[in-house]
Structure 1
């Protein structure tokens, strides 16, 4: 059944509407008057009028209701626009609130914009939408970042700084004979598997990326060490993590330079041998990191770089996965500067060089 044309029902206004439309200069007024003019002709459906006015049909009915109730002046009446999303006019005369916003951001008081909206309502009686709160956070210098996870049992920041400051003393406490060739490594392990790891990808603006993903619980472990002063890298694939695999890996690391003593800085995981353990290779010494402090180990950054290379892809076997990892590992084997950029932390390099010069 065909829709009938709209009938304005105010024939006395038709001539005046046409005249006001001809003289109108403001764009929004001209659009509303065009809508009224087309409706007064009684020849167009609401969808046709909406298409000619560049609006939706519901807006056409809203404008005609304004015309019927208030005449042409009612049609051309428009409320003053309120503050735009993120406009600080809501805080006009409230400098204390703005200062508290800046202090709260520095203290990490809000993790999300809805939390800020609730705080503004509870503490200051301000009704602020989430998108406005988000814009305010940006305007006072906030950025949205994915946080690094932290274990509840991790030590305080003070303890982390104390470890950095005392690393040189810990290295000297190993009491290696003067003139001994020493290599200082940071070491860690990472798990890689056939379960597809999804990460951000580059796509044209407006496109929705789609990545093939498989759910397959088969894993491989990559042991790795980065040398702090010379930029060497050493990696090995092993099927699991345990004390036997740890001893095997350290034996291979020691064999990479049989004349050197290899000082390995790493965490105290349960599958790691401790310094002085009989199963340690003869020329390997261990310096433990503070508990639950991966941010002190540059190997964590290496794993992130390597995982970027193999993410968003499906591998049919562990051998295929190892082949895909090889180009990333070669980058560290062949480019000492790539390693030194990762381990280039003054507290680490300076104290290693000072403890074992040359």
Structure 2
């Protein structure tokens, strides 16, 4: 027979019943009332009846109560099965996912859960199911996302170097202007919109493959677009071709939207018509080229994606004039939403100078 256990006496039976009346945890209430019965001189069997448990469980409650008082009788979450991966192994998994697979070594060009499970077995000798690994991946902050294209000639340090050098360059432009001249930061790009529209993702029943209309004709137009995210402004024109003449007209449109007395720094890529000798740059604009093959630095790329996803994809254009009408409609919808321009276009590294 197990030795008897004394009950701590710093709480009276009435104290425990008072706590039980205020407690919102039904399980803790049962335990408090069982302890109160024992403190009133009741037997362990009577306490077990009040709690609806066995004598051994009442003994466990007494041990918990003696150790931590009424708080020791709170309901506790069961610890459950210990995780398969420890913190060090999770960090190694995250690093492997970020690095990506080596096709010659791993036999795949992108990680699947089954491939990562095999890597965990090879690396740590641990077997993990795809379901458990999926939970681990989500807990580490990973999601299965669509990748954007990256030019194979892009230099590794170009993006970081441009972000680092941009604030001093913008500050230098500001110093070269008359004192007190406000500076607006604009981003410029062009997008081809044609009858062969892109197909976007859409909600559909699982297991099906939804369809969308796609034209086989090739008429197209070009949207020359520029945004000033800090002010929520945009300036755009629709042209039949991309050349220096069209670019000059777009710069005139941007110059018209720059605030009176302000100066605009227009950041744009190094397309041929952006640096042509025939290009006339208005006096209230300074051009700042992006490094080559780095379109991800330009938030107007995200503007094009937003416009295509919401207004310009999954449709048939009847003619060139129809394309122009839809381009103008989509651009004007964007101009009417300055908060959208700010949300898409603001970049902390660029707007902190």
TM-score range, shorter chain: 0.5 to 0.7
- Cα contact 1:192–1:221 (8 A) shared by 2: yes
Output the CA distance in 1 between the equivalents of 2:289 and 2:250.
Answer: 17
The 1:269–1:115 alpha-carbon spacing in structure 2 relative to 1, beyond 3 Å, is: farther
* Distance in 2 of aligned mates of 1:295 and 1:314: 29
What does residue range 86-105 of structure 1 map to in structure 2 within 5 Å? Answer: 100-105=92-97
Could you give the per-residue CA deviations for residues 124-165 of structure 1, whole angstroms, max 9, x where no partner exists?
A: 677878777656544654311112322232442531431344
| TM-score after normalising by structure 2 | 0.61
Inter-CA distance 237–142: structure 2 relative to 1 (3 Å threshold): same
RMSD: 3.5
Tell me which residue corresponds to 2:10: none
CA contact (8 A) 1:203 1:209 kept: yes
Please name the residue that 2:203 is paired with.
Answer: 202
Moved more, 328-337 or 311-320: 328-337
TM-score (norm 1): 0.60
Residues 318 and 135 of structure 1, relative CA distance in 2, 3 Å threshold: farther
User: Aligned pair 1:233/2:243, yes or no?
Assistant: no
In structure 2, the residue matched to 1:116 is 116
User: Do the aligned partners of residues 285 and 207 (structure 1) sit closer, same or farther apart at CA in structure 2, a change above 3 Å counting?
Assistant: same
Pick closer, same or farther for the CA change 1:335–1:196 going to 2, 3 Å. closer
Between stretches 114-123 and 305-314, larger displacement belongs to 114-123
Structure 1 residue 224 displacement after superposition? 0.5
Where structure 1 has 5 or more consecutive residues not aligned to the other structure, the ranges are 1-87, 352-358
1:149 corresponds to 2:125: no
Q: Tell me how far apart the structure 1 counterparts of residues 319 and 228 of structure 2 sit (CA, whole Å).
A: 31
* Alpha-carbon spacing, 1:279–1:104, altered in 2? closer, same or farther (3 Å): closer
- Count matched residues: 261
Asked if the contact 1:181/1:259 (under 8 Å) is kept, the reply is: no
- Please give the secondary structure, in 1, of the residue aligned with 2:306: helix
Greater mean alpha carbon deviation, residues 296-305 or residues 97-106: 97-106
Shift in alpha-carbon separation, 1:97–1:237, aligned structure 2, 3 A: same
Q: Please list, as runs of the form range in 1=range in 2, the aligned pairs for 1:73-92 lying within 5 A after superposition.
A: none
Counterpart in the other structure of 2:326: 324
Aligned-partner Cα distance in 2 for 1:292–1:269: 10
Residues 1:300 and 2:301 aligned together: yes
Residue in structure 2 matching 1:265, options 259, 264, 267: 267
